Structure 1
Amino acid sequence: MTAPQLDDPKSAVLNPLTFASAKEQAQALADGRVSAVDLLEHSLARIARFDGELNAVVAHDHEHARAAAREAHAALARGERRALLGVPVTVKESFNVAGLVTSVGNPAFAANRAERDSLAVAALREAGAVIVGKTNVPLGLTDLQSYNEVYGLTRNPWDPERTPGGSSGGSSAALAAGYVALELGSDIGGSIRIPAHFTGVYGHKPSYGLVSLGGAGAPPGRFSARDLSVTGPLARSAGDLELALDLLLNRDPLTAKAWRATLPPARRHQLADFRVLVIDTWPGTERSLSERLVIERVIERLRTQGVQVSRPADLPAGLLPDLARAHPLYRTLLGSSLAEPPAQSETALQQLAELAPEDDSADAAWLRAPTLAHRDWLKADERRHALRHHWERFFESFDVVVTPVAPVPAFRHNHEEPKDARTYPVAYEDGIRQVRFLDFFYWAGLPVLPGLPATSFPLGLDDDGLPIGAQAVGPWLEDRTPIALARLLGEAYGGFLVPPGYEAGSAR
């Protein structure tokens, strides 16, 4: 079957759906305004047209995708209705898709072909989604850029000289380029939220433990999930985040026998009713110009809508958890979350040997983490749970916390080794400074350590024409609340913007 041409009458229906939400695409399919077969071919045509440059979709299975589209078309004709019936989606390469390789960008796993879908992918299929392919990641999912020896480099649709982020970088690029309306990602250090910020889309990091990671990652065959890590959706609308989250719940076959998660409704249904704390400066640092722009734009929009906005200086002592003390704990648990951590570099080993016993800095925590004794991990875990309870008390007074996602918009590709020694230019009031790779994760780690839900949402463009975004952090297991704030802001001010040259019908 050939893709519809730009002058084909079908294009009059298909082009408006290019950047539509998954909900809108599903409705168009249910209404019979477009067929599942034509919508898939439209998606494949855009990938063929643009992905030579972007390299976002790195694993394809057109035969099975076309068969699934035909089945969806027949089901729709019979009157079946499911949330994603006939809607094309892609998923992050780290999720098993039956018949496709899961390598996490590692040549050692380049032949690791999955026999069955991961639980999250199976949930999307059950809802009727047509799996188009898999999107690129960094090696081992451990970078803010998406490149590796297996699949190569993924570029940002807003500027091919810049990264779309990592580790769900291919996911965010595929959404921004109009390939699909919904993506599946994972997040332990901002891997959903930072790519969303870099490309101007939406992303949701669910509460820890809410969505099963079964069938994701390499090597295959693991039963336990990596500590801190979560699975969640990326989309071009906040509404699609909630749609996907509902599909991903209660998929683990063991726990589903007795336990079911039923998320509480969003706390507020109008912007003016939200109680919001806004933070623009990480303790002990200076805010970058990008962080200032993000928060000034958020505050202006919230206050214009009548939202009660507070700043940390307005709070009574002790209400807000100590972010500076929490970050070394985040690095401790993050660095000790791998059963087989990569070998530390000579430089790192020397720095570790020279650490003073009383050094409790974030850098010291990161150096010690890979060899942390279990008794010390248990102490750190107890502090993590105490922090979650502290946040629970905080959220008696507030509904969400809004912060930047990263200190900069999408930066230029930088593949210098070792990775942890890389620096990136960041603009401050007094000029450009070089910021270390490790110092990009303050905001990303804030909700990860206590396991809180966080929704990244777009705020338009900066003065250089690059997307910027913020994140809304909510109470544990109250994922609908930060998603609701993002959705209401998008309805009031707009959300996703199409990158220049990727408009529907564009041949570039």
Structure 2
Amino acid sequence: MTLPDLPPADLPNAVCRMPVHVVAAQLARGETTSVALVDACRTVWESQNGQINAIVVADFEAAREAAAQSDARRQAGRTRGALDGVPFSIKESFDVAGWPTTCGAPARTGHRAVADAVVVERLRAHGAVLLGKTNVPLGLRDWQSYNAIYGTTRNPHDLTRTPGGSSGGSAAAVCAGMSYFDIGSDIGSSLRNPAHYCGVFSHKSSHGIVPLRGHGNAEAGFVEQDINVAGPVARSARDLELVLRAIAGPDAADAPAWQLELPPCDLDRLADFRVAVLSTHPLAEVDATVSGAIENLGHWLAEQGAQVAWNVRPDFDAAELWRVYVLLLRATTSFHMDDAAFAEAMRRVDPAKVDDMDYATMQFTGATLTHRQWLLMQHARERFARAWSRFFGDYDVLLCPAASTTAFPIDEVGEPWQRTIQVNGKPLPLTSQLFWAGHSGLCGLPSTVAPIGPARDGLPVGVQIVARRFGDLTSLRFAQRLEDAGYGYRAPPCLSQP
């Protein structure tokens, strides 16, 4: 990839549109420097962040110093690998020593982390250069990204619309060219819907392969947080794999006992894949702008020689999975509730509605589960996991939506579960699209989101590529081959207006 013929004023934007693997190759050949990359990101941040508000904590002076050290290592022949010198950002919920980790909560504005999160530590060890932190919703509990500390983050493709959440700042920063990649987290589509809304790539890793120590104000423990994972956001599927390999593997306490070796993907061409397509579902209707794009992709894949099966599903009760997912999701996130919020949840639980499928009811039921109730639900989860295993005996990937619509207009009135979105001309609960998070997320499956748009409404649209558990390299390979075929990142209009 070469720089387009642009006027000098737009050159930083052009540099910052490049994928990680391209600038890494340029660094290796001596065609650019890490300092130049940091300066280019800073120029874009200074010109665009006032409108987009993606990177909300930044230290470009420290980044420039780290970049100069990277350039010196390279000159001395001591480079630390492909990521050495590549600028990146990190979701605000990950600890960076000396920086605030608030998760958008005003009560935590005085907090300063004492150590780097594992993912930050590992990326710095690879020589990557940290620029700043990206915005999140309050408590990481929204499909938008706004809070009383840092304000509202906007979609670079349309400033009236959301970039998604809770890793919305991550996707917006990468989309706009403020950083080359970002690390977000995902428990309820928090990596997947922002990539879909902003037209970039993301990877929700298999549960447990990327340590979460130092994320979300949680102390280290003996087990990873249930359902939640960390993963990269980038402008290329190849970049996702580069970054995932850098951050995956056991935490320090576990490293003496085991090492991670993900199963390789033996499939090379798109025609080699057995593809299942599920573009909508009775429990979570998908707008035609999204379902139509996924269906068109499925037809195109069939023309390329791939084996495509339509509207196939694992053999479990999807409504039961939805209910178990929401209850376990709210059980694990109840860790972040203070005593007053937990007492209010206890007050709002109605024993007469214990089997109610309404989200507003289930969130309080889930937050107040007893440990025994939580354990009993693991039997259902195991049934779902076995069904997924059987499903992936017949198919290599499942293509499905990451969210029910393209990026919706920013709406900060009320709580998320009180809002609606327009799906095929009618209002549906915003929480209905959580189905597409839990369908695969409850059982820890990897999901790569790749842009396949624009959609009929002109906004970005992505496809969620799900593979069997620990099949991360399979979903990534499929996304890489889609990118090779022309399904990839496209810069938003704002990048031509420095």
**TM interval, short-chain normalised:** over 0.9
1:10-409 equivalent positions in 2, closer than 5 A: 16-81=14-79, 82-218=81-217, 225-284=224-283, 286-312=285-311, 320-337=315-332, 338-341=334-337, 352-353=349-350, 355-356=352-353, 359=356, 364-409=361-406
RMSD: 2.3
Q: Deviations over 1:106-135 (max 9, x none)?
A: 111111111221100111111111100010
| Aligned residue number for residue 456 of structure 2 | 463
Does 2:410 align with 1:413? yes
Please state how far the C-alpha of 1:325 moved relative to its aligned partner: 2.0
| Aligned residue number for residue 443 of structure 1 | 436
| Aligned residue number for residue 477 of structure 1 | 470
Q: Does the 8 A contact of 1:283 with 1:323 survive in 2?
A: no
Please state how far the C-alpha of 1:249 moved relative to its aligned partner: 1.5
Counterpart residue identity of residue 331, structure 2: S
Compare 131-140 and 436-445 and name the one that shifted more: 436-445
Please state how far the C-alpha of 1:225 moved relative to its aligned partner: 3.4
Does 2:492 align with 1:493? no
**How many aligned positions are there?**
490
Q: Does the 8 A contact of 2:284 with 2:435 survive in 1?
A: no
Please state how far the C-alpha of 1:344 moved relative to its aligned partner: 6.3
Compare 320-329 and 373-382 and name the one that shifted more: 320-329
Separation in 1 of the partners of 2:430 and 2:38? Answer: 39
Separation in 2 of the partners of 1:419 and 1:345? Answer: 18
Please state how far the C-alpha of 1:17 moved relative to its aligned partner: 2.8
Separation in 2 of the partners of 1:265 and 1:223? Answer: 28
Please state how far the C-alpha of 1:216 moved relative to its aligned partner: 1.2
Q: Does the 8 A contact of 1:267 with 1:399 survive in 2?
A: no
Q: Does the 8 A contact of 2:289 with 2:456 survive in 1?
A: no
Q: Deviations over 1:218-277 (max 9, x none)?
A: 266666532110000010110111111111112510111111110011141110010111
Separation in 2 of the partners of 1:77 and 1:340? Answer: 46
SS at match of 1:456: strand
SS at match of 1:402: strand
Separation in 2 of the partners of 1:49 and 1:340? Answer: 36
Separation in 2 of the partners of 1:200 and 1:477? Answer: 25
Please state how far the C-alpha of 1:391 moved relative to its aligned partner: 0.9
Please state how far the C-alpha of 1:18 moved relative to its aligned partner: 1.8
Q: Does the 8 A contact of 2:450 with 2:479 survive in 1?
A: yes
Counterpart residue identity of residue 478, structure 1: G
Please state how far the C-alpha of 1:29 moved relative to its aligned partner: 1.1
Identity of aligned residues (%): 39
Please state how far the C-alpha of 1:322 moved relative to its aligned partner: 2.8
Q: Deviations over 1:134-180 (max 9, x none)?
A: 10000011100100011111111011111100000000000110112
Alignment gaps of 5+ in structure 2: 1-5
- The alignment's TM-score, normalised by the length of structure 1, stands at 0.91
Q: Does the 8 A contact of 1:276 with 1:398 survive in 2?
A: yes
Structure 1 residues 350, 297: closer, same or farther in 2, change over 3 A?
farther
Please state how far the C-alpha of 1:358 moved relative to its aligned partner: 5.2
Please state how far the C-alpha of 1:360 moved relative to its aligned partner: 6.0
| Aligned residue number for residue 3 of structure 1 | none
- The alignment's TM-score, normalised by the length of structure 2, stands at 0.93
Alignment gaps of 5+ in structure 1: 1-5
Separation in 1 of the partners of 2:454 and 2:317? Answer: 31
Structure 1 residues 62, 194: closer, same or farther in 2, change over 3 A?
same
SS at match of 1:91: strand
Q: Does the 8 A contact of 2:360 with 2:417 survive in 1?
A: no
Counterpart residue identity of residue 320, structure 1: D
Structure 1 residues 471, 433: closer, same or farther in 2, change over 3 A?
same
SS at match of 2:56: strand
Counterpart residue identity of residue 427, structure 2: Q
Separation in 2 of the partners of 1:361 and 1:15? Answer: 46
| Aligned residue number for residue 3 of structure 2 | none
Q: Does the 8 A contact of 2:401 with 2:462 survive in 1?
A: yes
Q: Does the 8 A contact of 2:205 with 2:446 survive in 1?
A: yes
Q: Does the 8 A contact of 2:284 with 2:432 survive in 1?
A: no
Separation in 2 of the partners of 1:291 and 1:27? Answer: 35
Q: Does the 8 A contact of 2:250 with 2:260 survive in 1?
A: no
SS at match of 1:439: helix
Please state how far the C-alpha of 1:30 moved relative to its aligned partner: 1.3
SS at match of 1:355: helix
Separation in 2 of the partners of 1:393 and 1:196? Answer: 29
User: 2:495 is matched with which residue: 490, 495, 502?
Assistant: 502
Structure 1 residues 346, 280: closer, same or farther in 2, change over 3 A?
farther
Structure 1 residues 419, 347: closer, same or farther in 2, change over 3 A?
farther
Separation in 2 of the partners of 1:93 and 1:177? Answer: 18
Q: Deviations over 1:263-303 (max 9, x none)?
A: 01114111001011111221345442223223222212211
Q: Does the 8 A contact of 1:355 with 1:364 survive in 2?
A: no
Structure 1 residues 116, 367: closer, same or farther in 2, change over 3 A?
closer
Please state how far the C-alpha of 1:16 moved relative to its aligned partner: 4.3
Q: Does the 8 A contact of 2:192 with 2:402 survive in 1?
A: yes
